[in-house]
């Protein structure tokens, strides 16, 4: 059963999206609305809009949109019922009793419980006889028992049934264990077996202190060395970070981005609790956006090997697109952070703190790396270095920053500043034209509907689609017009299936005395909700007069008379003649 309409209406009334979104996004007033950088994708120019009158949001960059429930679902990675529960708790409202389907919510809770029980099991195994190998490994890596307990580290025994048997004894089912990815079905026996065994285990904890996944390091030379939980209803590896639950509580808004679990834990044990790591994947745009929520500066602290350098270059590109400040920490002597901190002599926590405080920004890092490729003592090497360096500087949007580094290059290489400026400006113009062309192409694509994944008939019928969307926006914003519109326009006159579905849906809700969009988050997917919000916002500026409405209806009726290619190929001569006659009459 759906949630009661009265409950939803009150919940939406008490849940001001501008107030709620402002806890995640820096918003600025723009007329009646609010704008900011989208929390769901990388961008430098704000395209995320809060519409205060409709209590909705829409991002013109990535297409995310909907009401406040949709927003919470996206930002907190929750299903519909859990998002409603969170908002209800915030608003001081009690959930209706037994009047809704919370099966997904209950499954998510069972996964959380199974993960928590698994973490306890793994931790207890670490301090048992069968976990001695794992404990020795962690101690050898200089981790103290205090640190091991703090991160809840554990050990998966070298047995395919150790965890599954334990969790089944606690009442968990095979389905729940498989859905949590704590267990998998054996191809040989068909039985459910542990996903992790003979591995040191690293629990991954979300911002609400839920254990959402695990990473495991094998104790042998088998591959893969590290194995991570696959995506589940409570975990998406591309959208989470290891130890962000610890790092978010630090006083300064700085994050140290490490390459792996052990680096994070070693840096943390050395006194730097603001360290995080990706989860078995390269840095993603989603993770960069997440870091932006909790930090103004990210220090990239990857391994010094070739793979680490490539990962650093990729991370710089992704983080730059968020507008966040970036620094790059070079660990001396080709060591990784964990190894450097554990080393004796001049290395250690104090030395790490020193290089952390004195590391340069990402631009200096890129220029230094580039310089190593050329012999700048020769004219040829100097020219080669400058040609590549200006490509980096031309990408900078901050002219002051650009000027500082142009001056620095000029002084280092004894080259006239004006010469470098000329080259940088030339490339900057080329980059600007390329961006303009890309934006224009995107605009054309959006208007043509070629990449409309929701209404796939948009591209084939652009005129009908535009009229249908304009009419839907009118209907939603003027629900009292439903009888007038329905009398003139039966659903079968719509040419696109998706818009026809929306027309019936909104008409039925309005006739039943319900708000058109109050249950949108439950009845449509995230992508469909975004599309509906786009229709509401993009068409809201069009004329909302009865005359305009009649024009939308007439266009839809005209378009409905057109024969598709399929119909033309099967139409009789009489049907074709009748169609041509109607077209001529419409043009008079």
Q: What is the CATH number of the domain that holds 548?
A: 1.10.860.10
Q: Are residues 109 and 231 in the same domain?
A: yes
Given a contact cutoff of 8 angstroms between Cβ atoms, the answer to whether 496 and 20 are in contact is no
pTM equals 0.81
Closest CA to 392 of 344, 434, 427, 418: 427
Instruction: At 511, list the tokens.
Output: 């006739």
Q: Are residues 272 and 363 in the same domain?
A: yes
Q: Which residues contact 502 (CB under 8 A, 6 or more apart)?
A: 472, 532, 535
Q: Are strands 33-36 and 211-218 parallel, antiparallel or unpaired?
A: unpaired
DSSP assignment of 62-115: T--EEEHHHHHHHHHT--HHHHHHHHHHHHT-PPPSS-S--HHHHHHHHHHHHH
Given a contact cutoff of 8 angstroms between Cβ atoms, the answer to whether 366 and 396 are in contact is no
Q: How far apart are the first and last CA of the chain?
A: 52
Res 280: pLDDT: 81
> Is 125 part of any domain?
yes
Residue 160 is part of a domain; what is its CATH number?
Answer: 3.90.980.10
Res 582: pLDDT: 55
Closest CA to 211 of 254, 160, 174, 245: 245
> Is 117 part of any domain?
yes
Q: Are residues 189 and 129 in the same domain?
A: yes
Q: Are residues 231 and 110 in the same domain?
A: yes
Q: Are residues 476 and 569 in the same domain?
A: yes
> Is 129 part of any domain?
yes
Q: Are residues 80 and 111 in the same domain?
A: no
Instruction: At 343, list the tokens.
Output: 């080393």
Beta strands in 165-278 (DSSP E): 183-185, 192-194, 199-205, 211-218, 226-228, 254-258, 275-277
Closest CA to 8 of 347, 417, 516, 510: 516
Res 270: pLDDT: 93
Res 523: pLDDT: 94
Given a contact cutoff of 8 angstroms between Cβ atoms, the answer to whether 237 and 228 are in contact is yes
Res 565: pLDDT: 45
H-type alpha helices, 127-173: 132-140, 145-150, 162-169
Instruction: Compute the C-alpha angle 538/514/90, nearest 5°.
Output: 80
Res 427: pLDDT: 94
Residue 66 is part of a domain; what is its CATH number?
Answer: 3.90.580.10
| pLDDT tens for the 588 residues of the chain, in order | 578 999 999 999 999 999 999 999 999 998 889 999 999 988 888 999 999 989 999 999 899 999 999 999 999 989 999 999 999 999 999 999 776 778 888 999 999 999 999 999 999 999 999 999 999 999 999 999 999 999 999 999 999 999 999 999 999 999 999 999 999 999 888 899 999 999 999 999 999 999 999 999 999 989 999 999 999 999 999 999 999 999 998 888 999 999 999 999 999 999 999 999 999 889 999 999 999 989 999 999 998 888 888 999 999 999 988 889 999 998 887 778 888 888 766 678 888 999 999 999 999 999 999 999 999 999 999 999 999 999 999 998 889 999 999 999 999 999 999 999 999 999 999 988 988 888 777 767 666 677 788 999 998 899 999 999 999 999 998 999 999 999 999 999 999 999 999 999 999 999 999 999 999 999 999 999 999 999 988 766 566 788 999 999 999 999 988 755 445 556 566 655 665 565 555 444
Res 55: pLDDT: 93
> Is 437 part of any domain?
yes
Cα separation, 304 vs 329, whole angstroms: 10
> Is 359 part of any domain?
yes
Cα separation, 105 vs 111, whole angstroms: 10
Res 339: pLDDT: 86
Q: Are residues 69 and 185 in the same domain?
A: no
> Is 452 part of any domain?
no
Q: Calculate the alpha carbon distances from 380 to 376, 383, 392 in Å.
A: 8, 5, 19
Cα separation, 16 vs 14, whole angstroms: 6
Residue 342, phi then psi, degrees to nearest 5: -80, -15
Cα separation, 511 vs 370, whole angstroms: 67
Q: Are strands 33-36 and 48-51 parallel, antiparallel or unpaired?
A: antiparallel
Query: Of 334, 367, 400, which one is at a domain's C-terminal end?
Result: 367
Please report where in the chains the tokens 């030379």 appear, as a residue. 221
Range of the domain at 254: 244-367
Res 573: pLDDT: 63
Q: Are residues 516 and 571 in the same domain?
A: yes
Closest CA to 256 of 342, 339, 337: 337
Query: Of 58, 91, 124, which one is at a domain's C-terminal end?
Result: 91
Res 588: pLDDT: 47
Closest CA to 69 of 59, 61, 79, 60: 79
Q: Calculate the alpha carbon distances from 469 to 442, 448, 496, 500 in Å.
A: 20, 14, 10, 10
Q: Are residues 73 and 110 in the same domain?
A: no
Residue 39, phi then psi, degrees to nearest 5: -80, 0
Q: Are residues 355 and 396 in the same domain?
A: no
> Is 268 part of any domain?
yes
Given a contact cutoff of 8 angstroms between Cβ atoms, the answer to whether 336 and 277 are in contact is no
Res 566: pLDDT: 47
Closest CA to 506 of 496, 516, 497: 516
Q: Are residues 116 and 209 in the same domain?
A: yes
Domain tally, the chain: 5
Res 567: pLDDT: 55
Please report where in the chains the tokens 């932006």 appear, as a residue. 292
Measured in whole angstroms, the distance separating CA 184 from the mean position of its chain's CA atoms is: 27
Helix 417-448 vs helix 399-413: crossing angle, to nearest 10: 140
Query: Of 304, 339, 367, which one is at a domain's C-terminal end?
Result: 367
> Is 15 part of any domain?
yes
Q: Are residues 162 and 53 in the same domain?
A: no
Residue 150: how many other CB atoms lie within 10 Å: 15
């Amino acid at each position: 059963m759906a949630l009661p309409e009265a409950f939803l209406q009150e919940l939406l009334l008490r849940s001001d999206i501008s107030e709620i979104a402002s806890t995640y996004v820096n918003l600025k007033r723009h007329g009646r609305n609010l704008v900011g950088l989208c929390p769901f994708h990388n961008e430098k120019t704000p395209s995320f809009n809060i519409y205060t009158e409709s209590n909705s949001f829409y991002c013109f960059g990535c297409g995310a949109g909907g009401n406040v429930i949709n927003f919470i679902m996206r930002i907190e990675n929750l299903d519909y019922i859990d998002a409603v529960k969170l908002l209800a708790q915030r608003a001081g409202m009690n959930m209706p009793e037994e009047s809704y389907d919370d099966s997904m919510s209950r499954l998510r809770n069972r996964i959380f419980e199974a993960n928590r029980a698994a973490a306890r099991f793994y931790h207890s195994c670490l301090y048992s006889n069968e976990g001695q190998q794992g404990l020795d490994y962690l101690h050898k890596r200089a981790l103290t028992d205090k640190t091991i307990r703090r991160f809840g580290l554990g050990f998966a025994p070298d047995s395919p049934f150790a965890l599954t048997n334990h969790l089944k004894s606690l009442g968990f089912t095979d389905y729940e264990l498989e859905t949590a990815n704590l267990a998998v079905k054996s191809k040989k026996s068909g039985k459910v077996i542990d996903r992790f065994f003979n591995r040191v285990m690293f629990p991954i904890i979300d911002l609400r202190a839920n254990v959402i996944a695990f990473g495991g390091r094998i104790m042998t030379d088998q591959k893969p060395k590290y194995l991570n939980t696959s995506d589940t209803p409570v975990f998406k590896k591309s959208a989470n970070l290891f130890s962000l639950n610890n790092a978010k509580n630090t006083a300064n808004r700085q994050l140290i981005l490490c390459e792996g679990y052990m680096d994070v834990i070693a840096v943390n044990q050395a006194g730097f609790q603001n360290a995080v790591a990706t989860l078995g994947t390269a840095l993603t745009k989603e993770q960069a956006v997440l870091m932006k929520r909790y930090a103004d500066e990210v220090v990239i602290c990857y391994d010094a090997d070739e793979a680490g350098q490539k990962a650093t270059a990729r991370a710089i590109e992704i983080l730059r697109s968020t507008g966040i400040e970036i620094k790059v920490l070079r660990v001396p002597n080709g060591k990784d952070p964990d190894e450097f901190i554990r080393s004796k002599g001049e290395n250690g926590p104090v030395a790490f703190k020193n290089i952390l405080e004195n590391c340069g920004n990402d631009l200096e890092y890129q220029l230094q790396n580039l310089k190593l490729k050329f012999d700048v003592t020769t004219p040829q090497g100097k020219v080669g270095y400058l040609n590549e360096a200006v490509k980096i500087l031309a990408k900078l949007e901050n002219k002051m920053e650009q000027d500082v580094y142009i001056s620095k290059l000029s002084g280092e290489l004894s080259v006239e500043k004006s010469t470098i400026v000329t080259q940088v400006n030339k490339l900057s113009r080329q980059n600007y034209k390329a961006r303009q062309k890309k934006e224009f192409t995107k605009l054309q694509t959006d208007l043509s509907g070629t990449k409309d994944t929701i209404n796939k008939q948009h591209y084939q019928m652009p005129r009908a689609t535009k009229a249908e969307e304009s009419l839907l926006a009118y209907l939603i914003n003027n629900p009292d017009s439903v009888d007038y519109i329905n009398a003139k326009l039966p659903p079968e006159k719509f040419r696109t299936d998706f818009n026809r579905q929306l027309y019936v849906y909104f008409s039925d809700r309005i006739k039943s005395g319900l708000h058109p969009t109050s249950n949108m988050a439950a009845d449509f997917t995230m992508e469909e909700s975004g599309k509906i919000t786009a229709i509401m916002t993009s068409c809201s500026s069009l004329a909302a007069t009865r005359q305009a409405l009649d024009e939308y209806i007439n266009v839809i009726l005209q378009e409905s008379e057109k024969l598709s290619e399929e119909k033309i190929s099967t139409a009789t001569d009489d049907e074709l003649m009748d169609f041509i006659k109607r077209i001529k009459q419409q043009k008079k």
